[in-house]
Amino acid sequence: MCFIHVLLNALDMREKGKEATIVIEGAAVKLVQELEQESCPLHALYVKAKEAGLIDGVCKACSAKLGALDAVKASGLPLLDDMSGHPSMAAYMDRGYTIITF
């Protein structure tokens, strides 16, 4: 599961004094339901990142299209939709972020 790299790198960056944020986009939105389960191998890392405020949100359009909207809403993660239902990467760039995709 490649999402472990997202979590590990965001946590590592934060621990090293770098600013980082996670935007869950595309097919990854379907992982939220699994990550919320204590039985998921990545649950502890996910919770650590979530509690650290590293997860900025989840794409609303992808969540709706891929049948994950209810699970994302139940997770309490913000839904991002400022660009026709999707999160705007330009908005993150305007805030000084470098976009890294996994």
Whether residue 102 lies inside any domain: the answer is: no
Whether residue 99 lies inside any domain: the answer is: no
Which tens digit of pLDDT belongs to each residue from 19-71?
999 999 999 999 999 999 999 999 999 999 999 999 999 999 999 999 999 99
Q: What is the pTM of this model?
A: 0.94
Whether residue 29 lies inside any domain: the answer is: yes
Whether residue 59 lies inside any domain: the answer is: yes
CA distance 44 to 42: 6
- DSSP-derived 3-state class of residue 68: coil
Q: Which own/partner contact pairs does 47-52 have at CB distance under 8 Å and 24+ positions apart?
A: 48/7, 48/11, 49/7, 49/10, 49/11, 49/22, 50/77, 52/11, 52/14
CA distance 84 to 81: 6
Whether residue 10 lies inside any domain: the answer is: yes
> Domain tally for the chain?
1
Domain holding 35, by residue range, is 3-94
Whether residue 17 lies inside any domain: the answer is: yes
Whether residue 35 lies inside any domain: the answer is: yes
